[in-house]
Amino acid sequence: MQLSVVGSGYVGTTIAACFADLGHNVVNIDIDQEIVDTINDGEAPIHEDGLAEMIAKHAGPESTGRLRATTDYEEVLNTELTFLCLPTPANDDGSIDLSIMKAGAEQLGETLVEKNERHNVVVKSTVVPGTTEDTIAPLVAETGGKRLGDDLGVGMNPEFLREGSAVADFLDPDKVVLGADDDRTREQMGNVFAPLVERADDPPVVETATREAEMMKYANNAFLASKVSLANDLGNICKEHGVDMYEVADAMGLDERIARSFLNSGLGWGGSCFPKDTAAIIAAAESKRYDAPMLNAATEVNDRQPQRFLDLLDKHVDAEGKRIAVLGLAFKPGTDDIRNTRAVPVIDGLIHRGADVIAHDPVAVENMRDRYPDIEYASSVSEALEDANACLVVTDWDQYKVLDEEFDRMETPIVLDGRHCINRREGITYEGLTW
Ligand SMILES: NC(=O)C1=CN([C@@H]2O[C@H](COP(=O)(O)OP(=O)(O)OC[C@H]3O[C@@H](n4cnc5c(N)ncnc54)[C@H](O)[C@@H]3O)[C@@H](O)[C@H]2O)C=CC1
Ligand SMILES: O=C(O)[C@H]1O[C@H](OP(=O)(O)OP(=O)(O)OC[C@H]2O[C@@H](n3ccc(=O)[nH]c3=O)[C@H](O)[C@@H]2O)[C@H](O)[C@@H](O)[C@@H]1O
pLDDT, one tens digit for every residue, the chain (435 residues): 999 999 999 999 999 999 999 999 999 999 999 999 999 999 999 989 999 999 999 998 899 999 999 999 999 999 999 999 999 999 999 999 999 999 999 999 999 999 999 999 999 999 999 999 999 999 999 999 999 999 999 999 999 999 999 999 999 999 999 999 999 999 999 999 999 999 998 999 999 999 999 999 999 999 999 999 999 999 999 999 999 999 999 999 999 999 999 999 999 999 999 999 999 999 999 999 999 999 999 999 999 999 999 999 999 999 999 999 999 999 999 989 999 999 999 999 999 999 999 999 999 999 999 999 999 999 999 999 999 999 999 999 999 999 999 999 999 999 999 999 999 999 999 999 999
Determine the residue type at 154. Answer: V
CB distance 81 to 122 below 8 Å:
yes
In angstroms, the CA 422 to CA 417 distance is 7
Q: Is 86 in the pocket of ligand 1 (CB under 6 A)?
A: yes
- Indicate left, alpha or beta for 63 from its phi (over 0: left) and psi (-120 to 50: alpha): beta
Say what the pLDDT of residue 60 is: 86
Say what the pLDDT of residue 388 is: 98
Q: Is 94 exposed, middle or buried (0-12, 13-18, 19+ CB in 10 A)?
A: middle
In angstroms, the CA 304 to CA 269 distance is 11
Nearest CA among 62, 54, 56, 59 for reference residue 25: 59
Residues near 257 by Cβ (< 8 Å), separated by ≥ 6? Answer: none
Q: Is 227 in the pocket of ligand 2 (CB under 6 A)?
A: no
- Ligand 1 mutation pick, 6, 15, 31, max ligand atoms within 8 A of CB: 31
* pLDDT (tens digit per residue) in 20-56: 999 999 999 999 999 999 999 999 999 899 999 999 9
Output the residue whose Cα is nearest ligand 1's atom 39.
125
Give the atom of ligand 1 at the shortest distance from the alpha carbon of 32.
35
Q: Which ligand is nearest to the CA of 276?
A: 1
Output the residue whose Cα is nearest ligand 1's atom 5.
11
In angstroms, the CA 172 to CA 149 distance is 31
Structural domains of the chain, with CATH: 2-208 (3.40.50.720), 218-302 (3.40.50.720), 303-432 (3.40.50.720)
**Quick one: CA dihedral 31, 34, 35, 41, positive or negative?**
positive
Nearest CA among 283, 280, 278, 281 for reference residue 298: 278
In angstroms, the CA 168 to CA 72 distance is 29
- Report how far apart, in Å, the C-alpha atoms of 399 and of each of 74, 328, 362, 435 are: 45, 10, 9, 21
Q: Is 87 in the pocket of ligand 2 (CB under 6 A)?
A: no
Full-model pTM: 0.96
Say what the pLDDT of residue 47 is: 87
Nearest CA among 106, 94, 104, 156 for reference residue 131: 156
Q: Is 163 in the pocket of ligand 2 (CB under 6 A)?
A: yes
Q: How far is the CA of 47 from the centre of ligand 1 (A)?
A: 15
Q: How far is the CA of 86 from the centre of ligand 1 (A)?
A: 4
CB distance 229 to 264 below 8 Å:
no
Q: How far is the CA of 312 from the centre of ligand 2 (A)?
A: 24
Q: Is 81 in the pocket of ligand 2 (CB under 6 A)?
A: no
Output the residue whose Cα is nearest ligand 1's atom 10.
87
Q: Is 270 in the pocket of ligand 1 (CB under 6 A)?
A: no
CB distance 122 to 159 below 8 Å:
no
Residue 323, φ and ψ in degrees, nearest 5: -90, 110
Q: Which residues are catalytic?
A: 273
Classified as helix, coil or strand, 243 is coil
Establish whether 126 is an annotated binding residue: yes
Q: Is 90 in the pocket of ligand 1 (CB under 6 A)?
A: no
Q: How far is the CA of 413 from the centre of ligand 1 (A)?
A: 41
Radius of gyration of the chain from Cα atoms? Answer: 23
- Report how far apart, in Å, the C-alpha atoms of 240 and of each of 92, 231, 393 are: 35, 14, 20
CB distance 278 to 220 below 8 Å:
no
